[in-house]
Amino acid sequence: MSLPVGATPSATPTAREALARARSKEEPESRFPSGGHPLWPASAEAIGAAPPDGEAAPAWGRVLRRALAATGGQERRPLPSAGARYPVGVQLLVGPGGGLLAPGRYAYDPLTHRVRRRGPAPQDAPEGCLAVLTVAARRTVSHYAHRAFPLLLLDVGHALAALTAGGAGSFCTDADGALLSAAAGLPNSAQWEAIWGGSEPLHPLAAVVLDPVADAPSSALRRWAAQPLADAPLPADPLPVPSVLRRTWQALVAVADAGGAAATWSAPAGPVPERVIGARRSAEPPVGGTPARADLARVLVRAAAAAPELEWCVALGGDEVVGLRPGAEAAADGGPALRPLAPGDVRPRLGEWAAGQGWLAGTGAVLLGLGSPPDADAARIRRDHLMAGYAVGLAQLTATELGSASRPLGSWQPSAAGARLGAAPDAGPIVHGLALGSDG
């Protein structure tokens, strides 16, 4: 399905309609007030103090510091991003053994690496720590309008990549949104305005084990979900709710509700050296210079292994699009083998498809993930975009470790990109990309 330019969306848009509109050539509407991040009433608390001054931070606190914290004067985003405007929130479910913190629900602030308590834990709370990842859409929609919807999903995937690279355990991208909301002590996002009117809705899309829990993760979530609502955020100044923002909220409700009772927990790819995480940056355009083919192959392998349900390729800064060679273990240099997929330099077209980012015509290479065809349902849209963000987040860390510059690309409006990239007919359009270059 595609939504023609100028067509009127339905009163309650489906995720499919929202994605079709985001992929259309329709220009974003004028901007509106972006508001701020949710503010919680409790005082900020330290996660842990370093010995000998106090009890060391728990393992999950070290994961958050490595993965998401923007401390120590580092000039990097507080959360890794596909291009959205910091929409991802982290709601912590801290069981017994949480170091200095009493068991309970907490909201994490990556800018200060501190938490604010939102409520107690259930009496039977398992040991360990779970996190529920949510998105607040207003800031991103105020800037990108209808194009914001896929960016919000991709950013959750980037946060998952950062957390698992920082040492987190298994994660889930398809849990029922109502379960995630209840576990985090939040209203169901479809009912948010009726229950916590005056605050920005938070839409739950993923969960991750930050510290091993003494129970199966889904069972642990159900224990937390039995607890009443936790503290609400402080009321914000009244702001208008343009139709494009409301439609994005409705599409996010649709993908959250698409989760099933039988949630799937995926094993993490494994931790990444802290020096690599700290060095991760989004390079400024045009990200010039073509990395070595062996390095490109390793980046491609990282993405394809992380999200095999998508189709992956690399558009080179020369005359071909390449993919992994089926059945080949290694190239002559010992790295993964590549094979041609399509002839011709597609970088100028990529600049057109990527919301008019013409600088891509001069970039070294572009990693591309394809998925979510026009008939994709809400569950697949959620899964493909979260896993694409996860895969590109890990691929960016691999590029960083290899010394390549990189920049994630989250906004795409292609029509028949798959054919130009040598993809399978049912692969779907471009979901996410990563510009790669050798000029650091």
pLDDT of residue 339: 86
pLDDT of residue 417: 82
pLDDT of residue 333: 63
Q: Return the percentage of the chain with pLDDT > 70, whole number.
A: 90
* Cβ contact 288:439 at 8 Å: yes
Average pLDDT value for residue range 378-402: 97
* Neighbouring C-beta atoms of residue 413, cutoff 10 Å: 18
Tens digit of each residue's pLDDT (9 = 90 or more) over 50-79 = 443 345 678 999 999 999 987 554 445 556
Q: What is the pTM of this model?
A: 0.93
pLDDT of residue 56: 65
pLDDT of residue 298: 93
pLDDT of residue 432: 97
Q: How confident is the model at residue 36 (pLDDT cuts 50, 70, 90)?
A: confident
Average pLDDT value for residue range 26-43: 90
Average pLDDT value for residue range 143-158: 97
Q: Count helices and strands (H / E) in the chain.
A: 13, 14
Which of 166-175, 258-267, 327-336 has the weakest average pLDDT? 327-336
Q: Which comes out higher in pLDDT, residue 417 or 336?
A: 417
Res 325 pLDDT > 80: no
Domain 15-26+33-266 CATH (choose: 3.10.180, 3.40.109, 2.60.40, 3.40.50)? 3.40.109
Position 251, amino acid: A
Q: How confident is the model at residue 7 (pLDDT cuts 50, 70, 90)?
A: very low
Q: Where are the alpha helices (DSSP H) in 184-281?
A: 192-196, 217-225, 243-257, 274-279
CA angle, 87 as apex, 139 and 386 as ends, to 5°?
130
* Cβ contact 161:34 at 8 Å: no
Tens digit of each residue's pLDDT (9 = 90 or more) over 187-201 = 999 999 999 998 999
* Cβ contact 408:432 at 8 Å: yes
Res 2 pLDDT > 50: no
- Sole residue written with tokens 């080949």: 328
pLDDT of residue 77: 55
Q: Write down the CATH superfamily of domain 282-437.
A: NADH Oxidase (3.40.109.10)
Which of 54-68, 226-240, 277-291 has the weakest average pLDDT? 54-68
**Mean of the per-residue pLDDT values of the chain:** 89
Q: Which comes out higher in pLDDT, residue 243 or 54?
A: 243
Measured N-to-C along each axis, helices 59-67 and 148-165 cross at an angle, to the nearest 10 degrees, of 130
Q: Which comes out higher in pLDDT, residue 425 or 411?
A: 411
Every domain of the chain and the residues it spans: 15-26+33-266, 282-437
pLDDT of residue 262: 84
Tens digit of each residue's pLDDT (9 = 90 or more) over 98-146 = 778 999 999 999 988 999 999 999 999 999 999 999 999 999 999 999 9
**3 state SS of 293:** helix
